[in-house]
Amino acid sequence: MKCPACENTMTERKVSDIVLDVCDNGCGGIWFDKSEFKKFDEPHEPDADTLLKLNVNKRPTAKAPYSCPRCAPVKLFRHFSSVKRHVSIDSCPKCTGVWLDVGELAGIKQEFSSEAERRAAAETVYSEMFNSEFNTLRAESLDKLRTAQKFAQAFRFISPSYFIPGKQSGGAF
């Protein structure tokens, strides 16, 4: 498989019973197939340390967006790895693989100390972005609920329970 950044031939490296494609003696990039990236992105996952020690001899020659090494000519999407927006990564929209340039894995591992910290940061960002809108929608919903409850109460007063399905014994309902 060819490296999407420097077109070097990538080598396979087995880490924690997972075979990854790395650009050793090239640009130092790493290709993670579907769902493999999640097994290496946190600080407590020690096997990822071997991936931080690749021989880097080339600079990337291709310009972003890179082509997916599995699904070429599909282009990789560049996006932030987390809500902190410190590290951007590339992922394939077709096979959901992830490409990391040299140094990006180390940056990702340093962003959060645990999954709980990652979730807390995401909740903080989302609440800052959407809380005012959610509060407005919640208030509108409560107003509509109160109106519906008033209507239901008035309907209960107007029509006795005898005519409501399930309240009579052997009726037509």
| Average predicted confidence (pLDDT) for the chain | 81
Tell me what pLDDT residue 173 has.
Answer: 40
Tell me what pLDDT residue 85 has.
Answer: 80
Binned at pLDDT 50, 70 and 90, residue 160 comes out as low
44 Cβ partners below 8 Å, 6+ apart?
114
What strands lie across the sheet with 11-15, from one edge to the other? 11-15, 18-22, 30-32, 98-100, 88-91, 77-80
**pLDDT at residue 134 above 70?**
yes
Note the pLDDT tens digit of each residue in 79-132.
988 887 888 899 999 999 999 988 888 888 888 877 788 888 888 888 887 888
Tell me what pLDDT residue 167 has.
Answer: 57
pTM of this prediction? 0.66
Euclidean distance between CA atoms 55 and 26, whole angstroms? 7
More confident residue, 146 or 84: 146
Cβ count within 10 A of residue 4: 27
Binned at pLDDT 50, 70 and 90, residue 171 comes out as very low
Give 67-80 as a 3 state SS string: ECCCCCCCECEEEE
Contact in structure between 67 and 73 (CB atoms under 8 Å): yes
Tell me what pLDDT residue 32 has.
Answer: 92
**pLDDT at residue 162 above 60?**
no
Tell me what pLDDT residue 90 has.
Answer: 94
